[in-house]
């Protein structure tokens, strides 16, 4: 295996340093995010389901619940107010808003609700309009959480039948503590032209059986009542219109004759029809089998892709490890050769300083001359 060049070594080291730096930066970011405290919402949230607004309200409805009581009382007592805010109207013809916009009607309600207030009437009107929208939205949110059964029990005054610990009980407990206007909102909205509660029912709601009876109230299968006077005579039957079969059926049979019983033919499904009904159509089975096979193939393909990706990651990791190990081995080999060369040079320098030349295998220590020449 060829040894990597210096540029390749530098690239490998650069990749490692970048990985370490990225890891350190990620840890630093996570610590900084954990150190930043979450923003605390200090606004009062009186009812669940009511969207908070950042605009400062002219009226503190949460601190003064009696304002909401008076607001509903004013709307309930005025037909125009009830119609304007989409609520139920009373008996008689439905009133109109008199050409006034919702904002103008809200300002008129604000004048009645806060007659001695120093706040601008337009701001009070906006606050009134927003409050009506908020409590209606809260009512619908609670009604949705209660479901048809829980809503019906509360409206029918059967709160004691709600089982403790259930979801309906928890929602009703919140209504009892935080939203005491639930029933009043129901009374305002049930007869509204834009609101239909006919589908709201529970297991205790009685069924309307009037559709099973005739318009007069008597069952459709009931026989006609007898006439109280002699004016209601039964018409005589025309002999020409008498059905001979009917006449024979009313005749007393002769006991001396054998009784003729007409066999009743009962149609039973054949074996083939029964099997056809019991077994699904081949096309349906084929479609299900194809769909199942597609799911199996998709799962197998996904599993193979994951296994291949994992294998490639392992091979890449092993290849990097082998390269680094080879670099370490070659570096150690170069270091060892360098040390051997340095030791040889030091020995030659020491011999030179001592005035002696290095010995060869075919000479002795006497200046290179053989002992036979002496």
Segment 279-317, tens digit of pLDDT: 666 677 778 788 788 888 888 888 888 899 999 999 999
SS (H, E, C) 95-118: CCCCCCCHHHHHHHHHHHHCCCCC
Residue 100, pLDDT score? 79
Contact of 106 with 125, CB cutoff 8 Å: yes
Contact of 176 with 222, CB cutoff 8 Å: no
Helical pair 167-178 and 121-155, crossing angle rounded to 10 deg: 140
Is the pLDDT reported for residue 368 higher than 90? Answer: no
User: What is the torsion angle, in degrees rounded to the nearest 10, for the CA atoms of residue 269, residue 273, residue 277 and residue 281?
Assistant: -170
Q: Is the dihedral of CA 337, 340, 346, 352 positive or negative?
A: negative
Of the candidates 74, 54, 93, 89, the residue with the CA atom closest to the CA atom of residue 132 = 74
Q: What is the average pLDDT value for the chain, to the nearest integer?
A: 71
Percent of the chain with pLDDT over 90: 21
Residue 326, pLDDT score? 92
Contact of 80 with 95, CB cutoff 8 Å: yes
Tell which wins on pLDDT, 46 or 303. 303
Tell which wins on pLDDT, 94 or 327. 327
Q: What residues pair up with 219 in beta bridges, in sequence order?
A: 213
User: What is the torsion angle, in degrees rounded to the nearest 10, for the CA atoms of residue 192, residue 196, residue 202 and residue 208?
Assistant: 100
Residue 361, pLDDT score? 47
Is the pLDDT reported for residue 259 higher than 50? Answer: no
Q: What residues pair up with 213 in beta bridges, in sequence order?
A: 219
Tell which wins on pLDDT, 353 or 3. 353
Is the pLDDT reported for residue 50 higher than 70? Answer: no
Least confident of 100-114, 151-165, 273-287, 356-370: 356-370
Tell which wins on pLDDT, 32 or 167. 167
Percent of the chain with pLDDT over 70: 58
**In whole angstroms, how far apart are CA 70 and each of 27, 76, 104, 114, 181?**
57, 10, 19, 10, 11
Residue 36, pLDDT score? 46
Of the candidates 141, 160, 155, the residue with the CA atom closest to the CA atom of residue 183 = 155
Task: Report pLDDT digits (tens) over 183-238.
Answer: 888 888 875 444 444 444 445 455 555 555 544 444 444 433 344 343 344 344 44
At 370, the pLDDT band (50, 70, 90 cuts) reads very low
- DSSP annotation of 198: T
Residue 156, pLDDT score? 87
At 273, the pLDDT band (50, 70, 90 cuts) reads low
d(CA 12, CA 327): 11
Contact of 128 with 71, CB cutoff 8 Å: yes
d(CA 180, CA 46): 12
Contact of 59 with 66, CB cutoff 8 Å: no
d(CA 134, CA 55): 14
Residue 32, pLDDT score? 64
Task: Report pLDDT digits (tens) over 56-109.
Answer: 578 889 889 999 999 989 988 888 888 877 654 444 444 455 677 889 999 999
Residue 68, pLDDT score? 93
Is the pLDDT reported for residue 138 higher than 80? Answer: yes
User: What is the torsion angle, in degrees rounded to the nearest 10, for the CA atoms of residue 289, residue 295, residue 299 and residue 305?
Assistant: 110
- DSSP annotation of 58: S
Contact of 58 with 119, CB cutoff 8 Å: yes
Tell me the whole-structure pTM to 2 decimals: 0.38
């Amino acid at each position: 295996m060829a040894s990597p060049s210096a540029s390749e070594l530098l690239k490998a080291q650069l990749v490692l340093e970048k990985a370490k730096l990225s890891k350190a930066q990620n840890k630093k970011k996570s610590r900084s995010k954990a150190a930043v405290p979450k923003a605390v919402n200090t606004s009062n949230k009186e009812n669940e389901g009511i969207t908070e607004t950042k605009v400062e309200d002219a009226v503190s409805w949460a601190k003064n619940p009696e304002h909401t009581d008076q607001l509903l009382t004013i709307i309930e007592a005025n037909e125009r107010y009830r119609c304007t805010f989409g609520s139920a109207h009373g008996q008689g013809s439905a009133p109109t808003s008199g050409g006034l916009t919702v904002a103008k009607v809200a300002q008129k309600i604000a004048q009645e609700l806060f007659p001695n207030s120093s706040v601008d009437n337009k701001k009070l009107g906006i606050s009134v309009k927003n409050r009506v929208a908020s409590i209606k939205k809260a009512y619908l949110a609670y009604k949705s959480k209660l479901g048809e059964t829980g809503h019906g029990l509360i409206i029918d005054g059967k709160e004691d039948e709600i089982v403790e610990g259930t979801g309906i009980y928890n929602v009703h407990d919140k209504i009892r503590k935080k939203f005491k206007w639930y029933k009043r909102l129901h009374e305002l909205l049930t007869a509204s032209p834009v609101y239909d509660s006919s589908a709201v029912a529970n297991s205790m709601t009685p069924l309307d059986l009037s559709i099973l009876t005739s318009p007069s109230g008597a069952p459709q299968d009931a026989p006609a009542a007898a006439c109280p006077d002699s004016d209601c005579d039964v018409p005589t039957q025309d002999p020409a219109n008498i059905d001979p079969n009917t006449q024979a059926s009313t005749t007393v049979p002769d006991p001396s004759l054998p009784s003729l019983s007409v066999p009743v033919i009962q149609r039973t499904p054949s074996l083939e029809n029964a099997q056809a009904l019991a077994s699904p159509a081949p096309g349906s089975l084929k479609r299900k089998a194809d769909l199942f096979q597609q799911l199996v193939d998709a799962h197998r393909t996904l599993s193979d892709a994951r296994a291949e990706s994992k294998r490639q990651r392992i091979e890449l990791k092993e290849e990097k490890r082998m390269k680094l190990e080879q670099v370490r081995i070659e570096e150690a080999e170069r270091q060892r050769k360098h040390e051997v060369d340095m030791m040889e040079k030091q020995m030659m320098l020491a011999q030179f300083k001592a005035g002696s030349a290095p010995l060869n295998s075919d000479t002795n220590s006497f200046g290179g001359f053989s002992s036979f020449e002496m």
